[in-house]
Chain A
Amino acid sequence: MRPVEDDKALIAELTELALSTAAPDELVVFEETAEEFFADPQATLTAARKDSAVGFGLELAMITPVALAVGSAVVQALLSALSDHAISMGGRGVTGLLKRLLRKGSPQPDDISLSPEQARYVRQVALDRARALGMPEGQAAMLADSFVGAMVVNG
């Protein structure tokens, strides 16, 4: 299922933050890659034709598409985890809460932050998704840590 517009911005924001640690080089092309991802996530995650007759034989994949897919999973997990918190805060939108979670700059009185359990949960979700997408273990762990870090540092 493709994320709705509001979620897309959130996913992109979260993933960009995670990539600033996991793959900062790729940020120069983040915008167009995210656009391509949201248009057709599966095609972006699938390698182009293999064993092209005239290619070098490289298998160099960008981290960004996988990170965006992981970001989608993390956002979904966060939406679910934060829904109770949203109700206790007077029914404010979960998405709004998430945005505040990621807000940069000086902390505000009504900012929220992830509990250690929530952080561990988010990390596990990110790790599972990255593994499922075939990312090598070390890279997957780093990406998961980057997502958690993005929220802890900014939240």
Chain B
Amino acid sequence: MTTPTVRLRPNVLAHPSPTTGRFLLLIAAMLSTGLLVGTLVHNGVLGTSWSESARACLAQADDAVPDKTDVPAQIAHNEVLSTCLAPAERIRAWFDVAGALLIALLGVVVLLATPAYIRRREKLREAGARLDGARERIRELAAEVGLARPPRLLLGRAGQRDAFVFGLPGRYYLVLPTALVVRWRSRAYFDPVVRHELAHLKRHDVPLAWLASAVWVAAVPVILLPVITSLLRWEFSILPPYLWRVALFMVVIWLIRRQALRSREHDADLHAARQAGDWRALCAVLETATTQAKGWWRRFISNHPTVAQRVAVLTDPGRLRGVSVVDALAGGFLTALLLPALSGTLQILLTKTPAYSYIPQIVALIVGPIAGLAVGVGLWRQAMIDQVTGERVWPGPAVAGFVAGLLLGHWSDLDDLALGGDWNYSVPVLIVVGAAAVLLSAGTGRLWADAASRLPGGPRSWWLGFVLNGLIFATALWMLQWLPVLFTATGAAQFSWDNLVISAGALVTDVVYVPLLAMVVAAGTMVRRRHQLPLPGWLLDGGHTAWPLSAREPGLGLALLGGVGAGAIAALGTAVYRLAVGSPADDTDRVARFLLWLILLSSVALAVSFVTLVVVPRSGGAIGLVTGLPAAVVGGLGTTALNTFGFGNILDLGFWWLATTTVVALWFLGYLILLPVSLAVWPASWRDVPGWLLATLNVIVAGLVTLCVVGLAIALR
């Protein structure tokens, strides 16, 4: 056996467990299965009457609006149609909801019924009075762990060789192999195993683990419902597309389940080792009293990590990855499936209500936090671990996994099954926005980890991580829904690209608040990381202290100054252009100049962010917001101010706002495309980048871009 490299042991339990995110994904997967099944059962049971209603409503709409040549008429026609069809659609939506509720209900039933079933199946019995010593020791260990009530000790048959806990909150049972219980005085064996099982109770993962274990019991009956309705109607056309999607779905559910069950073992191992104050005893038990699944396939499908993996994580907890490629893939896949499923249901349920216009936002706010917790919080956790170990874990696999999951979910979309919409540009938008969301989360996580020494530890350190990651992913999901619609509509209306650029601000104005919030968080973190402080004990396993491997430069002041300076240069560039070419001749010229402003200002802001991404490894994605956003805002405000006060145009604050938000929106959309650059510089060895260097580079690049764009515009005029 090779001697492991000695390095600081991060206290990975101080951070939110990835197991929680995985269980959440599992529940989301089950509920979305219910939504899908609900639609299909509706189509099977009430498909004919729905079709008749649709035909009747179409005829009614055609009678009401016979001429549909212009857009207002088309809208009016659609209004009549949707009003007429609303009752039938509501019934369909209620079927979806019923499907989700049914699977949730079955899940609860499984949870409640499991304890009795386990007792009967395993022939479990109370340990006799002769084993009171073991019971007493369990009571002592439970008190050490901090459990109010120790679990009741049960014994299985003589062939029972494993230990596990089951039950419901307040009434948990601990099952130990008799061979272990009778040797309760041998603390080298007994204590580590019991501590591990008690750790599961302390971490409250027992009911969810059993739900994961018995997920098929809840899912399979619901999944079979469409098959049964097809059989009853003797109509099988829906089955092939349904069945292959369900098979794919099952594979993903199985993967999440496996990941969750494996990671909870690592969590419990680490918890038990921390409680005991020494991880070696548990390692000894794992190495001598457990068996290893034979063959790669058995190891792959095993619900447990291998002994080698468990020992490796106990020896070096830093090995426990925040987000694996499978986690990210599952997160992306379920996100892509949940979005259209939930959106379709809500569209029907909220028809004719004020909330109807906000469905994309509502759906994004429901699904975004799930993806944020499963992927984003995991990346932040990884950043905190890296802060202790000094590693620079590359987020490429998480990016690739999330994007692959989104694409897989999109291609196995439920469109054919009457859910969701199909738009052009969906695939490129999925790739760009999906990758950007993961990288923005990873970058802000690294920056936030630089300020780890100033954090108090515990939940108070993490609420911001939950909120920001939820918002990052919610925004990404909103864009995933909205941008393909926008691009498709633009294409259908035969808008030119310059019209799209000019109208971008109005169309995606909501976007500007997200980089603003992320920038505020990043800026606050840059302030908090200024002073080098020792790593707090809560970040380390073993209570040692050490100096963090965090970056402290660039500071906030110079980073902002660089961005502001770049924006000012760009604004001056627009003024120079105005001085060089004089007043606009007509409205066409005015529109062309507005377009030039937008191109110049957003290009400068993007160049500034690009330089930041290249120069500042890892946290560049977050600091790029601190430099790029001020550049865009100062550029927009500076240009409109110069235009008003320098060249005598009327003071129209609405126009100021429009121009600035459009520049910001264009910059942000471009920034999402640029973000993968951070993957290339992520492994770079340097940490600190002097603020003066970054500011100087930003100003130089802004000057060069301004010179090129303005020079070209004057030359082409």
Residues of A whose CB lies within 8 Å of any CB of B are 25-26, 28-29, 32-33, 36-37, 43-48, 50-65
Does A54 lie within 8 Å of B209, measured CB to CB?
Answer: yes
Q: Is B303 an interface residue, CB under 8 A from the partner?
A: yes
Interface residue from B157, B163, B209, B290 paired with A53 (Cβ < 8 Å): B209
Contact at B161–A59, with CB atoms within 8 Å?
A: yes
Q: Would you list which residues of chain B between 272 and 310 have a CB under 8 Å from chain A?
A: 285-286, 289-291, 293, 302-304, 307, 310
Please tell me if the beta carbons of B157 and A29 are within 8 angstroms of each other in the complex.
no
CA separation between A26 and B182, bound complex, in Å? Answer: 6
Sorted nearest first, the 9 A-B pairs with minimum C-beta distance are A55-B162, A53-B213, A59-B291, A56-B163, A62-B179, A60-B179, A25-B182, A55-B164, A28-B130
CB-contacts of B121-173 with A (<8 A) = 122, 128, 130-131, 155-166
Least CB separation from B269: chain A residue: A56
A88 to chain B, nearest CB (A): 40
Is B183 an interface residue, CB under 8 A from the partner?
yes
Residues of B within 8 Å of A28, CB to CB, are 128, 130-131, 182
Within 8 Å by CB of B178, from A33, A53, A54, lies A33
Measured in the bound complex, the distance between the Cα atoms of B180 and A61 in whole Å is 9
Q: Are A54 and B130 in contact (CB under 8 A)?
A: no
Q: Considering only CB atoms, which chain B residue lies closest to A58 in the complex?
A: B162
Q: A57-B307, A62-B177 are in contact. Are A43 and B157 (CB under 8 A)?
A: yes
Chain B positions within 8 Å of A, measured between CB atoms, are 122, 128, 130-131, 155-166, 177-180, 182-183, 185, 189, 193, 196-197, 206, 209-210, 212-213, 261, 265, 285-286, 289-291, 293, 302-304, 307, 310
CB-CB under 8 A from A50, the residues of chain B are: 162, 291
A51 with B293: CB separation less than 8 A: yes
Task: Check B159 against A29 for contact (C-beta < 8 Å).
Answer: no
Q: Within the complex, what minimum Cβ distance (angstroms) separates A63 from chain B?
A: 8
Q: Are A48 and B213 in contact (CB under 8 A)?
A: no
Distance in angstroms from A53 CB to nearest chain B CB is 4
B183 contacts A25, CB within 8 Å? yes
In the bound complex, do residue B161 and residue A60 qualify as a contact, i.e. CB atoms below 8 Å apart? yes
Bound together, the chains give a CA A111 to CA B183 distance in angstroms of 36
Residue on A with the closest CB to B304? Answer: A57
Task: Say whether B161 contacts A48, CB under 8 Å.
Answer: yes
Would you call A56 and B162 a contact (CB within 8 A)?
A: yes
Given contacts A54-B210, A56-B265, A62-B158, 6 further A-B contacts (CB under 8 A): A25-B183, A44-B159, A47-B159, A48-B122, A48-B159, A56-B164
The residue in chain B whose Cβ has the minimal distance to the Cβ of A26 is B182
Shortest B615–chain A CB gap in Å is 47
13 A-B residue pairs with Cβ-Cβ distance under 8 Å, sorted by A, are A36-B157, A36-B158, A43-B159, A54-B261, A55-B164, A56-B162, A56-B163, A56-B290, A57-B291, A58-B177, A58-B180, A60-B189, A62-B158
A59→B159 contact, CB < 8 A: no
User: Which of A36, A55, A58 lies at the interface centre, i.e. has the most chain B CB atoms within 10 A of its CB?
Assistant: A58
Pair A51/B156 contact, Cβ less than 8 Å: no
A108 to chain B, nearest CB (A): 33
- Bound together, the chains give a CA A48 to CA B179 distance in angstroms of 13
Note all chain B residues with C-beta closer than 8 A to A53. 209, 212-213, 261, 303
How far, in angstroms, from A131 to B157 measured CA to CA in the complex? 22
**Which residue from B196, B210, B289, B302 sits with its C-beta under 8 Å from A60?**
B289
A28 to B157, CA, bound (A): 15
Bound Cα distance A52, B131 (Å): 25
A38 → chain B, closest Cβ, in Å?
11
Q: Could you say which of B160, B185, B285, B310 has the most chain A C-beta atoms within 10 Å of its C-beta?
A: B160
Given A53-B261, A58-B289, A59-B291, A46:B159 Cβ within 8 A = yes
- Contact A60–B304 (Cβ < 8 Å): no
| Smallest CB separation, B432 vs chain A (Å) | 38
Please indicate the chain A residues that have their CB under 8 angstroms from the CB of B293 in the complex. 51
- Interfacial chain B residues near A52, Cβ < 8 Å: 162, 164, 303
- What chain B residues lie within 8 Å of A37 (beta carbons)? 158
- A46 to B469: give the CA distance in the assembly, Å: 49
Q: Which residues on the A side are within 8 Å of B197 (C-beta)?
A: 56
A29 neighbours in B (Cβ, 8 Å): 128, 130-131, 155, 178, 182
Tell which of A28, A45, A57, A64 has the most Cβ of chain B within 10 Å.
Answer: A57
B182 to chain A, nearest CB (A): 4
**Are A45 and B289 touching (Cβ within 8 A)?**
no
Question: A37 to B159, alpha carbons, bound, how many Å?
Answer: 10
Distance A75 CA – B206 CA, assembled complex (angstroms): 46
Distance in Å: Cβ of A95 to nearest Cβ of chain B: 26
Interface centre among B131, B162, B185, B291 (most CB of A within 10 A): B162
Contacting residue for A56 out of B158, B196, B302, CB 8 A: B196
User: Are B159 and A51 neighbours in the complex by a CB distance under 8 Å?
Assistant: no
Residues of A within 8 A of B185 (CB): 25
Q: How far is the CB of B157 from chain A (nearest CB, A)?
A: 6
B210: which A residues are within 8 A, CB to CB? 54
Task: Please give, as numbers and ranges, the residues of chain A lying within 8 Å of B265 by CB-CB distance.
Answer: 56-57
In the complex where A51-B303, A54-B261 touch, is A61 in contact with B130 (Cβ < 8 A)? no
Find chain B residues with CB under 8 A from A32 CB. 128
Could you say which residues of chain A place their CB within 8 Å of the CB of B193? 56, 58
Bound Cα distance from A45 to B158, whole angstroms: 8
Q: Is the CB of A55 within 8 A of B122?
A: no
